[in-house]
Chains A and B, each alone.
Chain A
Amino acid sequence: MNYKVILNIIGFLLILTGILMTTGIPFSIYYGHDDIIAILISSGISLLAGVSVWFFTRDADRQQLGKREGYLIVTLGWLSMAIFGSIPFVIHGSIPNYTDAFFETMSGFTTTGATILTDIEAMPYGLLFWRSLTQWLGGMGIIVLSLAILPLLGIGGMQLFSAEVPGVTKDKFHPRVKETAKRLWGIYVILTATEVVLLLIGGLNLFDAINHSFTTMATGGFSTKNANTAHFDSVFVQYVFIVFMLFAGMNFTLHYFALHLKFDAFKRNTEFKFYVLFIFLVTIFIMFIHRPHHEFELEESFRQTLFHVTSLVTTTGYVSSDFENWAPFSRMIFFALLFIGGCAGSTGGGIKFARHYLLFRNGFLELKRLVHPRAVIPVRFNGKSVSPEIISNVQAFFILYILIFVFASIIVSLLGLDFASAAGAVAACLGNIGPGIGIVGPAGNFAALPELVKWILSALMLIGRLELFTVLIIFSSAFWKK
C-alpha cells in the first residue's frame, strides 16, 4: 500500500475544501451576517491541515496508484472532507453539537439532504451557502472535480474515478479520464447555471436561486427555507424543480449527447426509457388512487404527485407537502419509492434504475431459461448483451444493500426509534434521499434522534454515496492481504 500518495491526495482535497468554504463570504458581507470570522478560521484550519499533509508527502510517487489506494483515498477523502467541512458550523455556534455538525455535513457531501436544523432561516448566509455547496460538490463528486482541475493525477486517476463513480456499466466520453471529468463538470455547471436563471425568472433572489440550483442538480435536497420548496408557492418554480430533478437523475452522458444534438442516444438508452416510463406510470398510479382523498385540482394533484415521486426517485428529497398524510396508505407507497434511486451516471443515489432493470430483465429471462434449460439467454442493455459477471455483481450489490438496510433498521429501532421511523431513516440515508417516513418524514427532521443513531446514519450515507463496495471493501480481509 502506497500510504504517501494517499495522504498526499487527501491533503489536496483538504486544501480544496478550505478554499471552497470561503465562497459564501460575499453573501455574508452583502447581507451583513456574523459568520465571516468563523468561516475564515475554519478555512484556515483546513488549509493548514491540507498544506502540512501535502508538504510532508510531496515526494510521493503519484503514478504508483492501484485499485486499493483508490478505494482508500476516496473513502478517507470523503471522511476527512466531512470532518473538516463541519468545522464552520461548530465554530460559529449555529450547530453547537459536533455530532449534529458532522451529520449535517455528511448529509451535505453525500447529497442526502437529511437535516438536523429546526430553524434553517436563522442561519447566516455564508454558512447556508457552504451547506448547499457541500451538496453541489458531493453531487458530481469532489474526486471527479480534482481530476478535472488538477493536472497532477496521471494514470492513477482512473482508479480514483472508478472508486468514486462505481456505476454499473462504464461509459466514458473520452479515453482520458481527465477529459471525461472535465466534460462531466462542464455539463453540471451549465445545467446548474440554467436552473439559476430560470429560478431568478420565477422570482427567487440570487442567493436562493443559487442554493436551490446547487441542491437540485446534486439531487441533494437542502433548502434555505424552513418550509423547504413549499416556501416559494409558485407553480412555475415547482415545475422548474421537477424538470431539473429529472435532469439530475439522468445519466450525464445523455446530457452530453443532447448538447451535441445527438438525440439518438436517448432512443438507444434502455435505462432512460425505463426511468421516464417508471416515473410517469407511478405518478399516474399514485395520483389516481389518491384522487378520492384529496381536494386538489387535477393539475395540482398531478404536479404535487409528480414532484414527490421525482424527488424521492431521483433521491433529491425536496418536499412541498406532507405526502405521508395524503391517505392512510400513502406512507407505504412512498416508503417503497425510497428503494429506487436515479440512473447510473447521474448525481442520484440509491440502488439505481440500471440495477433494477438488469435484475428485472434477468428475472424475467430466468423463466425463459427454465423452459429452455440449454439455451444461453443473455440480458441485453443499451443494445449490448451484459456479461454474467456484471449481473452477479449487481445481485451482490442488491443483496448487500438489503442486508445493510435490514441490520441498520434493527439497530436503529433497538436504539429507541419506532418501527416506521427507523426503517424510513435508514432507507432515506442509505439511498441519499433525505426525508424518510415517521418522525424523520417530510414534516419532521433528524434533530431528535439519539447521538449514536446520527453516527450510524452518517456512516450509512457515506456507504450509500460510494455505492457500498468502495467503503465495504476496506473491511474485507482480502483488501489488506499482501
Chain B
Amino acid sequence: MNIKFVINVLGFLLILTGLLMLTGLPFSIYYGDNDIFVLLLSGLSTALFGSFLWFVSRKNLVKEISKREGYLVVTLGWFLMSVFGSFPFFFSGYIPSFTNTFFETVSGFTTTGASILTDVEALPHGLLFWRSMTHWIGGMGIIVLSIAILPFLGIGGMQLYQAEVAGPSKDKLHPRVQETAKRLWAIYVLFTAVETLLLMFGGMSLFDSLCHSFGTLATGGFSTKNQSVAYYQSTYIEYVIIIFMFIGGTSFSLHYLALKGNVLNYFKESEFRFYISFTALVVLSTSLYLILHNDQNIESAFRDSAFSIISVISSTGFATVDYQTWAPFFTEIFLVLLLFGACAGSTSGGVKMVRYQLLFKNSLLELKRLIHPQAVIPVRQNSKAVQPDIIAKIGVFVLLYFFIFAIGSVILTITGLDSTSAMGAVAACLANIGPGLNVTGPVSNYSSVTDVGKWVLSFIMLLGRLEIFTILILFSPSFWKK
C-alpha cells in the first residue's frame, strides 16, 4: 500500500476544501453577517492541516498506485472532508451538536439534502452558501474536480476516478482521464450558470439562485428557505427547477455528446429512453389521478406531480407539496420511487436506471434460458451484448443495496422510528435523495432522529454516494492482504 500517496492526496483535498469554504465570504460581507470570522478560521485551519499532510508526504513520492489506494483515498477523503467541512457549522454555534453538523455536512457532500435544521433561514449567508457548495462539489465529485485541476495526479488519476465514479458504464470522453474530468466539470459549470441566470430572471436574488442551482444540478436538495422551493410561489421557478433536476439526473457524458454533436444523441442511449419514458409514465398517471380524484386543475396537477416525482427519481429532494397527502397509497409509491435513481454518469444517486434495465432484461431472458438450456443468450443494451460478469456484478450491487436498506431500516426502527419513516429515511439516504416519508418526509426533517440513527444514516449516505463497493471493500480482509 502506497500510504504516502494516500496522505499526499488527502492533504490536497483538504487544502481544496479549506479554500472552497471561503467562497461564501463575499456574501457574508455583503449582507453583513456574523459568520465571517468562523468561516475564515475553519477554512484556513482546514487548508493548513491539509498543507501539513501534503508537506510531510511530499518527499520521494511515488505516483504509481493500484486500485487499493484509489478506494482508500476516496473513502478517507470523503470522510475527512465531511469532518472538516462541518467545522463552520459547529464553531459558529448555529448547529451546536457535532452529530448534527456531521450529518448535515455528509448530507451536503453526498448530495442527499437531508437536513436537521428546523429553521434554515436563521443561518447567516456565508454558512448557507457553504452548505449549498458542499452539494455542488459532491455532485460531480471532488476527486473528479481534483483530477481536472491538479496536473500532478498523473497515472494514479484513473484509479481514483474509478473509485469515485463507480457506475456500471464507464464511458470515457477522452483517453486521458484529466481531459474527461475537465469536460465533465465544464458542462456542470455551464448548466449551473444557465440555471442561475434563469432563476434570477424569475426574480430570485443572486444568492438564492446560485444556492438553488448548486442544489439542483448536484441533485442535492438543500434550499435556503424553510419551505424549500414552495417559498417562491412561482410557477416559472418551479418549471426551471423541474427541467434542471431532470438534466442533473441525465448522464453528463451524454450531455457532452449531445451538446457537441447532435441533440438527438440523447435518444440513441437506451438508458435515457428508459429514464424519460419511465418518468413520463409516472408523472402523467399521477397527474391524471390528481386531476380526477383531487380536483386539481390540469396545470398545477402536472406541475406538482412532475416536481415531486422528478425530484425523487433524480434523487434531488426539493419539495413544493406534501405528496403523502395526495392519497394513502402514495406513501408506498414514493417508497418505491425512492429506490430508483436516475442515469449512470449523472450526479444522481440510487440504484440507477441502467442497473434495473439490465437486471430486468436478464431475468426475462432467464425464462428463455430455462427453455433452451444449451443456448447462450446474452443481454443486449444499445444493441451490444453485455458481458455476463457485468450483469453478475450488477446483481451483487442490487443485492447489497437491498440488504443495506433492510438492515438499515431495522436498525432505525430499533432507535425508535416508526417503520414507514425508518424505511423512508434509509431509502432516501442510501439513494442520496433527502426527504423520506412521515417523520422524515417532504414537509419534515431529520431533527427528530436519534443520534445513533443520524450516525447510521450518515454512513449510509456515504455508502450510497460511493456506490457501496468503494467503502465496503475496505472491510474485506482480501483488501488488506498483501
Binding site for B on A (CB under 8 A): 67-68, 289, 328-329, 331-333, 335-336, 339, 359-360, 362-364, 366-368, 370-373, 388, 391-393, 395-400, 402-403, 406, 409-410, 413-414, 418-420, 422-423, 469, 472-473, 476, 478-479
Binding site for A on B (CB under 8 A): 67-68, 328-329, 331-333, 335-336, 359-360, 362-364, 366-372, 388-389, 391-393, 395-396, 398-400, 402-403, 406, 409-410, 413-414, 416, 418-420, 422-423, 469, 472-473, 476, 478-479
**Given contact pairs A332-B410, A368-B478, A419-B331, A67 touches B370 in the complex (Cβ within 8 A):** yes
Pair A419/B396 contact, Cβ less than 8 Å: no
- What residue of chain A has the Cβ atom nearest to residue B375's Cβ? A478
Pair B362/A333 contact, Cβ less than 8 Å: no
- Listed residue (B359, B366, B410, B423) with the most chain A CB atoms within 10 angstroms of its CB: B366
Complex Cα distance A393/B373, Å?
A: 12
**CB-contact partner of A410 in B329, B392, B414, under 8 A:** B329
Complex Cα distance A362/B391, Å?
A: 13
Kindly provide the distance from the CB of B341 to the nearest chain A CB, expressed in whole angstroms: 15
**CB-contact partner of A364 in B329, B368, B476, under 8 A:** B476
Complex Cα distance A388/B396, Å?
A: 13
**CB-contact partner of B414 in A289, A368, A478, under 8 A:** A289
Pair B328/A469 contact, Cβ less than 8 Å: no
Kindly provide the distance from the CB of A201 to the nearest chain B CB, expressed in whole angstroms: 39
Complex Cα distance A476/B361, Å?
A: 12
Q: Which residues of B contact A422 (CB under 8 A)?
A: 332
**Given contact pairs A289-B414, A331-B419, A469-B366, A392 touches B328 in the complex (Cβ within 8 A):** no
Q: Which residues of A contact B396 (CB under 8 A)?
A: 359, 362-363, 366, 395
Complex Cα distance A187/B291, Å?
A: 61
Given contacts A339-B406, A362-B396, A472-B367, 4 further A-B contacts (CB under 8 A): A332-B423, A392-B395, A410-B333, A476-B367
**CB-contact partner of B479 in A67, A371, A398, A478, under 8 A:** A371
Pair B371/A332 contact, Cβ less than 8 Å: no
Kindly provide the distance from the CB of A436 to the nearest chain B CB, expressed in whole angstroms: 13
Pair B67/A371 contact, Cβ less than 8 Å: yes
**Given contact pairs A370-B473, A391-B392, A410-B332, A399 touches B409 in the complex (Cβ within 8 A):** no
Q: Which residues of B contact A367 (CB under 8 A)?
A: 469, 472-473, 476, 478-479
- Listed residue (A336, A370, A393, A422) with the most chain B CB atoms within 10 angstroms of its CB: A370
Complex Cα distance A121/B260, Å?
A: 75
Complex Cα distance A393/B396, Å?
A: 13
**Given contact pairs A368-B478, A371-B68, A396-B363, A402 touches B402 in the complex (Cβ within 8 A):** yes
Kindly provide the distance from the CB of B258 to the nearest chain A CB, expressed in whole angstroms: 31
**Given contact pairs A332-B409, A371-B479, A473 touches B328 in the complex (Cβ within 8 A):** no
**CB-contact partner of A478 in B336, B372, B402, B418, under 8 A:** B372
Pair A413/B418 contact, Cβ less than 8 Å: no
Kindly provide the distance from the CB of B331 to the nearest chain A CB, expressed in whole angstroms: 5
**Given contact pairs A366-B469, A399-B363, A423 touches B332 in the complex (Cβ within 8 A):** yes
**CB-contact partner of B420 in A360, A410, A420, under 8 A:** A420
Kindly provide the distance from the CB of B1 to the nearest chain A CB, expressed in whole angstroms: 12
**Given contact pairs A329-B414, A359-B399, A371 touches B478 in the complex (Cβ within 8 A):** yes
Q: Which residues of B contact A420 (CB under 8 A)?
A: 419-420
Pair A396/B366 contact, Cβ less than 8 Å: yes
Pair A410/B416 contact, Cβ less than 8 Å: no
**CB-contact partner of B336 in A363, A372, A393, A410, under 8 A:** A410
Complex Cα distance A335/B372, Å?
A: 37
- What residue of chain A has the Cβ atom nearest to residue B363's Cβ? A396
**Given contact pairs A67-B370, A391-B392, A371 touches B473 in the complex (Cβ within 8 A):** yes
- Listed residue (A360, A371, A420) with the most chain B CB atoms within 10 angstroms of its CB: A371
**CB-contact partner of A469 in B367, B391, B478, under 8 A:** B367
Q: Which residues of B contact A473 (CB under 8 A)?
A: 367, 370-371
A-B contact pairs, 30 of them (CB 8 A): A67-B371, A329-B413, A332-B409, A332-B419, A332-B423, A335-B419, A336-B406, A336-B409, A362-B396, A363-B399, A367-B476, A367-B478, A370-B67, A372-B478, A392-B362, A395-B359, A396-B362, A399-B359, A403-B360, A403-B363, A413-B329, A423-B332, A469-B366, A473-B367, A473-B370, A476-B364, A476-B367, A476-B371, A479-B367, A479-B371
Complex Cα distance A420/B416, Å?
A: 17
- What residue of chain A has the Cβ atom nearest to residue B333's Cβ? A410
Complex Cα distance A97/B107, Å?
A: 54
Complex Cα distance A332/B417, Å?
A: 10
Q: Which residues of A contact B367 (CB under 8 A)?
A: 469, 472-473, 476, 478-479
Q: Shortest 7 CB-CB distances between A and B: which pairs?
A: A395-B395, A396-B366, A332-B413, A329-B413, A367-B476, A396-B363, A476-B367
- Listed residue (A359, A362, A395, A479) with the most chain B CB atoms within 10 angstroms of its CB: A395
Pair B479/A392 contact, Cβ less than 8 Å: no
**Given contact pairs A410-B336, A478-B367, A398 touches B399 in the complex (Cβ within 8 A):** yes
Complex Cα distance A163/B422, Å?
A: 39
